[in-house]
Amino acid sequence: MRLRKLLLALVWAAAFAAATATLVQAAVSGWVADASRAAIPKTPVTGRIRGKEFMPKSVEIRNSASVKAGGFSYEEMTLTLRSSDSLSPETGVEVTVAVPKGKKLDGMTFSRVPGSRQPVVGPGTPQLQGLSYERGRKAAEDEEDHDTFRTFKGSVRVAFGTRQGKVLPGSLYVCFDDEEKSYLAGAFQAALK
């Protein structure tokens, strides 16, 4: 009877240790299965892209397209975070959202949830229009170390504050569904382009 209790206690302890290690790894890594529901850190945005630390040096928002589909008009606005200010960025992340024509991003929140049913901004128009990262330099000599990951797999929440001149503050949590569990989370100040 004693041996049985001891074995049961050991099995429980091992299960508890494995669960704790998983939770600690999730907390350390920053990747979560559903970023659309995760608390966004108030610290400056950082993360890991393809296993490498990522801390953007520049953040900007630009109108990337005007679209009319099925009687609904919207603007595609692209949030770009880059690790370098140069023309050949080492790493960049882009999140493109749909904004109803005539509306501003100020105060809006957009998300992409796991699965196929997505939040919409208008008839048949998902909030998230694009999600990608690019890692590596574009220079010809570095072509083997360059890759781009464009996907609709993963989860996102991006919230915009109120613009202050040509700057729009916001926060985001992005988790890519790639092998390395790339992610990006935190607050930003985006230049409006």
- Encode pLDDT of 81-113 as tens digits: 998 755 555 788 999 999 999 999 999 999 999
pLDDT on residue 148: 65
Query: Between the CA atoms of 64, 155, 80 and 165, what dihedral angle is there, to the nearest 10 degrees?
Result: 80
DSSP conformation letters of the chain = -HHHHHHHHHHHHHHHHHHHHHHHHHHHH---S-TTSSPPPSSBPEEEETTEEE--SEEEEEEEEEEEETTEEEEEEEEEEES-SSSS-SEEEEEEEEEETT--STT-EEEE-SSS---EEETTEESEEEEEEEES--SGGGGGG-EEEE-S-EEEEEEE---BTTEEEEEEEEEE-STT--EEEEEEEEEE-
Q: Which tokens in the block code for residue 62?
A: 């630009």
Q: Which tokens in the block code for residue 152?
A: 């609709």
Please say if the pLDDT value at position 5 is more than 80.
no
pLDDT on residue 31: 96
Of residues 67 and 145, more confidently modeled: 67
pLDDT on residue 19: 39
Of residues 50 and 2, more confidently modeled: 50
Identify which of 192, 161, 168, 183 has the alpha carbon closest to the alpha carbon of residue 51.
183
Of residues 184 and 19, more confidently modeled: 184
**C-alpha–C-alpha distance, residues 47 and 55, integer Å:** 7
Task: Name the band, by pLDDT with cuts 50, 70 and 90, for residue 124.
Answer: confident
Identify which of 16, 15, 41 has the alpha carbon closest to the alpha carbon of residue 30.
41
Q: What is the pTM of this model?
A: 0.78
Residue % of the chain over a pLDDT of 70: 74
- Encode pLDDT of 140-149 as tens digits: 444 444 456 6
